[in-house]
Chains A and B, each alone.
Chain A
Amino acid sequence: MDISTQDAPVPPPTTTPTAEQKRAARGATRPGDRIFLGLSRGSGILLLVIMAAIAAFLTYRAIDAISADEANFFTAFEWEANSTPPRFGIAVLAYGTIVSSIIAMVIAVPISVGIALFITHYAPRRLGGLISYVIDLLAAVPSIVYGLWGALVLVPNLKGLYGWLDAYLGWTGIFSWQGLEPRSLFAVGILLAIMILPIVTNVSREVFRQAPQMHQEAALALGATRWEVIRMSVLPFGRSGVISASMLGLGRALGETMAVATVLSPNFLIEASLLDGGGGTFAQNIASKFGEATETGRDALIASGLVLFVITLLVNGAARMIIARRKEYSGANA
């Protein structure tokens, strides 16, 4: 027995396949496959390299500025980066960026979800197509045009709304208004909401359209109304899609530059009221100060850009975590 097993020829191919066999097992490889693999792998690597290069550039320039800063970089309420010694802090910018984006999200996300549901589940096909088309147009408008429209049309017409908010909600402190020009973070939030509407709507629409027909028909068969169908089978399915759509919109809101610079009346104060002019955002501050900045001034602006970069990374990371946790609902987000 022992001998016979020792003598038995062990077929090497089965245990250690040659490289050729391996390739054969994966299917035939032709030059096209290899080129395509190289290209797609290269694209992936290129993306990482670009991100790393941006981060390295921002950090490198920011370190100089932050070490020269005489004020506290995170808590100071001033931006005198061109004076010697430079004094600047990002507190007001961080507050303004986050608050204006939150206002934009609060306004834009429910409306976008509403529009997307209307297009996919309520509107007649033709009307839905027309609305999609108009929404696409909104996405094609350059941000400076939004800014001009905001400054010339939106802001002058916001006085009524501001007065109403002041009269009924002024007691909260958040909505008190001194009667100045309504060029505040709240106006910026409204404008940003309009700007991110198309992105959030388009992505949500695609997700809702993919909601499984079977679930919806099953719900209908059980006697659900249309609203109940949407609530039970469409919304849970689309939730993570809507979250990632919102994050795309939030990314645009956080980084919006020209529209904010045109509409906002910036200063370096944090006011309790959203309606009294003031504040500033990272991108707006960079756009406003870059032209006349000295070398340190530029590095200071780049340092503020680094903070925005980090905030954006954190927001995206948080969104990914939320989506990962809700993955069981989703077929749309791989």
Chain B
Amino acid sequence: MKLQRKNRLRALSLGAVAVTGALALTACGSDDTGDTGNGESTAANSAIKCDDAKGELLAAGSSAQKNAVDAWVKAYTASCKDVRINYNPNGSGAGITNFLQGQTAFAGSDSPLDAEEIAKSKEVCKDSQAIDLPAVGGPIAVSYNLPGVDGLVLDAKTLAMIFNDEIKTWNDEAIAKLNPEAKLPSTKIQTFHRSDDSGTTDNFTKYLKAAAPENWKYEGGKAWEAKGGQSANGSSGLAQQVSQTAGAISYMELSYAKDAQTVKIKTAAAEPAEATVDNATKAIGEAKVVGEGNDLALELNYEPKTDGAYPITLVTYEIVCEKGNKAETLAATKSFLNYVTSEEGQAILKDASYAPMPEEIITKVRTTVAGLS
């Protein structure tokens, strides 16, 4: 027994050493990114008006915009030292729930509030209601692993058929027709989707449903509905599967697909569009505002005609009360959102592989933020 206890102690201490080692390593890692972030923030500081903002700002929601919020928070809190912002990327659903329960100052979400949630928000917003403010966009890249075949072109219909298991090999006629010059191998197509519920899945399938209604007949939502295909946890899990599986194809936020081959999407425009930050902004430019009043919920156009507009795009919203925000956090919320929607705030998005909002939309958001009370 004594021997065993000693062993356990030893095991524990070794574990502790390993953990501290790992911590030290991650600390180094975040330091590195911190340096570049600080470099940018000093340039952006001019745009930040702290006013009389202070205190702790709690927010929660979409993990898709986490890196964008992190970049904003870093730049903002460097200037406004009296404000501490704590964004918990616990998922859009959980974020909205927290907000509706009055636990957070604002929520981040991959999709606008539905009618039921707006009705519920009247409680926390004291007779006013919650509104959606589009603040960040992001292209969802379709990445694949096919050595020797770069710049693959696909359209919505072919994508739907691939993810529906109707097209099974890479040298299928439908793919060959879109890529007359590529040497397509007869490799089996292995599709991967998210195993966890995700706004990325929601937006990707929304695109398939809107642009290829004949071939994609599922209802849509955060869970993957099509049968067949393999799955993995999180965008990082998908990126890893694509990188190690020949013949794999999957969808993920652009930042995860940096090292992989990505598909160019054929749209109504003359040339197929590549998944880039600028091309996503172009596509969001064709979106319609469908929210009522100051609610700026967008409806994306999935068959954009602008040259280069990349149609598979996700817009994330910041959700706040139009009126009736809590007095103690109002100043900080307004000041932070002012920065977020400013030119500087939007400009730093590109470095994190996010797409800034097009000028026309962000101007409306700015006006709305100025009127929050």
Contacts and interface: CB of A to CB of B under 8 A. Distances in A.
Interface of A: 79-80, 82-83, 129, 132-133, 136-137, 139-141, 151-152, 156, 179-181, 183, 206, 261-262, 264-267, 269, 277, 287-295, 297
B138 interface: no
Given A80-B221, A132-B4, A291 B91 contact: yes
A264 B97 CA distance: 29
B192 to A, nearest CB: 8
Nearest to B8: A136
B7 A136 contact: yes
A266 to B, nearest CB: 5
A287 B233 CA distance: 10
Nearest to A137: B11
Contacts of B10: 133, 136
A129 B7 contact: yes
18 contacts: A79-B223, A80-B221, A80-B223, A132-B7, A136-B7, A137-B15, A140-B14, A180-B230, A183-B232, A262-B237, A267-B230, A287-B196, A290-B91, A291-B93, A291-B94, A292-B94, A292-B196, A297-B93
B190 to A, nearest CB: 6
A289 B196 contact: yes
Contact of B233 (A133, A136, A180, A262): A262
A92 to B, nearest CB: 12
A160 B12 CA distance: 36
B222 A136 contact: no
B373 interface: no
B171 interface: no
B223 A289 contact: yes
Given A152-B240, A293-B93, A183 B197 contact: no
Given A129-B7, A262-B237, A266-B195, A292 B227 contact: no
B231 interface: yes
B196 A291 contact: yes
B232 A137 contact: no
B219 interface: yes
Given A291-B63, A295-B97, A267 B221 contact: no
A186 to B, nearest CB: 15
From A80, A136, A152, A292, name the one whose CB has the most chain B CB atoms within 10 angstroms: A292
A288 B195 contact: yes
Nearest to B188: A179
Smallest CB-CB A-B distances: 4 pairs: A291-B91, A292-B197, A288-B196, A136-B11
A102 to B, nearest CB: 22
B233 A261 contact: yes
Contacts of B8: 136
B86 interface: no
A267 B14 contact: no
A56 B230 CA distance: 37
B20 interface: no
A181 B246 CA distance: 10
Contacts of B4: 132, 206
A261 B194 CA distance: 11
